[in-house]
Structures are given as structure tokens and as C-alpha cells.
Structure 1
Amino acid sequence: MLDIGYSLSRRFPDPPQTDYRTADVRALRHDLFCGDVYLADTKAGAELSTAWGWLPVLDFAWALCDIAERLDKDPRGSRAPGPVRAELDFTESTDCLLFERRFGWVEITADWSPADEPPLSFQHSTLRREARDFLHDLLADLTDMHDGLDDNPVIWDLQARFPRV
């Protein structure tokens, strides 16, 4: 079972003058909602997590949904032998998460993890579903915390682009 979670940073709060109704894509993806994220395999007890405090959490969720779609470009779907690779790099760092799909399975590794640590491995359909659920749950939390965010057209477009599966 894939579990994706986050925590917002108290060290890097959003600017108090932020108008969430009119925040543009750049602000939403790179300047707001900083914190940490994790991906965990609850059956294996393995986890990949950040502990930096400055990671733009909404950008992570958005990029994870993009990657799940990119990994599924082959029309043969789960019959495609692959490998199909994608990389999620973090804006203010050289660190990244690496995704590799073979047939219907995706392996996820972090370049900051020890080399002998096995990758997280999930069915692609599970990654897609959980990434979208994470995005929608995160947006629900953020719109509860920040007045006007649910009126932002960028958020509407994002929710429409990646509906829950």
C-alpha cells in the first residue's frame, strides 16, 4: 500500500500579505506551502521522505500527478516492457526522486538514499490513484487554511486536470 503525506513548515511560512485568490502558477508551485513530504510502502515498512522544511508541497503533488501520467504514455499500458523513466527534481536542491516503470510496476528511488536501500515498488495504477488522492486531500487542507484559495482559477484547472480516480 502506498501512503503519501506531508507536513507544512513553521520555519518557512507563507507571506502574510498573500492574496490566494489571485496567486499565479509560479507562486503556487514555488513560493507557497513549504514543508516536507514522504512516500511510504506500508506493507514493507519502507519510506522515502524529505526533512528540509522548504519543499513546495503543492508543487510536489502537482509534479507527482504529472509523472504518473508521463509514465503511462505507451499505448500498451501495463503490457509495455519499458523501462519508462521520469525524474522529479527539487527546485532548490540537486536531489531528486527517480521513477522507472516496467510493465505495470513503478520503482521509486531517491538519489539521497543509501545505494543498498531497495526502491519502493508499486503498481502504476496505485501510484496514479494515490497521487491524485494526495493532490485532492492536500488542496482540501490548503483551502481550509487559506481564505480565497478555493476561488483561484489555477486551483480549479488543477483539480479538473487531475480528477480523483
Structure 2
Amino acid sequence: MSARRGPSGQGPRGGRPDRGRSRRPSSTRSRARAATAKRTTPKIRRIRFKAPWRMSGRTAVIALVLSALALSYAYPVRTYLEQRADINELRDSQATQADRIAELEAERAKWEDPEYVRAQARERLLLVKPGEQLIIIIDDPEGAAADAGQTPDPGPQDTWYEDLWEGFKDSQ
């Protein structure tokens, strides 16, 4: 079979003539070129190191979204926790105030009793009923200690320079 030729004796597509082609099939030619190239250039071996932190694009986007969410929720969570602490502190304060109010209510209830008022008037204001005599006892610490069988406290000791001064005063 003959090859189809275009006008003016050129190849089938109008390019260069068929005469320059070699008779070997194209796969053999490329193998021959590759063998020649292998002999002339050193083979560079490429080592691919896959790092454990290397991630795909989808993983990077998910990590970015999660970190953005964490950062956007950090301030409101902190504010919430601070407010909860303030609320707990105010509840404790309210409980102590309620205890104080209960104590004051009990005290007020005592003062509403006329006998309690009379007893407080006798004790604090030294008031007596008509016809009674008021006797005031002044505490004598030395007499009370002697009555109890204890030796009275001699009081503060003089310092050495006061004793020395007393010695000079007596010699004059």
C-alpha cells in the first residue's frame, strides 16, 4: 500500500515529505532515545517525605473553622463564668444578710417583752422600782483576791533607772 500524498509531493498533511522517516516503529525510536539519555545523564532520585502534620485542603479548612469558632466563643464563655461567680458571691452575701436580719428580728422580739425592758433598765441605767434601794458595789481587785485566797498582783515593777533615782533622792 502506498502512502497518501498531498499536492506537490508532500506528506499526508502537507508537511515535510515522507522520505526522511526512519523505518523503525515509533516505540522503538523512543526507547532508543531514552536509553541514550539514561547513559548520558545521571538519574536523580526524588525522595518524597510525607510529614505527619501535612494535611489536605479540607482538613485545613475544618481546622481553621474550628479555631475561629473557639476564638469567637472564648470571650462570651469567660464573661458567662465571671457573671456566674458574681451571682454566687451575691447569693452568699444575701444569705449572710438574711441571717443578720433574723438575729435583729429576734432582738426586736425581746425588746417587745416588758420584763426584758425592765431588766435592761435595771442593769444598764441603774433604775429601781419605787421603794427599792439602789446599792452600787465598787469592785476592789485586791480585796476580792484576798477573799478568794489568792495573793494580789503587785503591779508593774519599777525599772532600774527609777530605782537608781529613788536611791539618789533618799540619800539627799
Range of TM-score over shorter length: under 0.3
TM-score w.r.t. the length of structure 1 is 0.17
- Structure with more of its chain in helix, by fraction: 2
The structure with more radius of gyration: 2
- 1 or 2 for the larger relative contact order (CA 8 Å, sep ≥6)? 1
TM-score, normalised to structure 2, is: 0.17
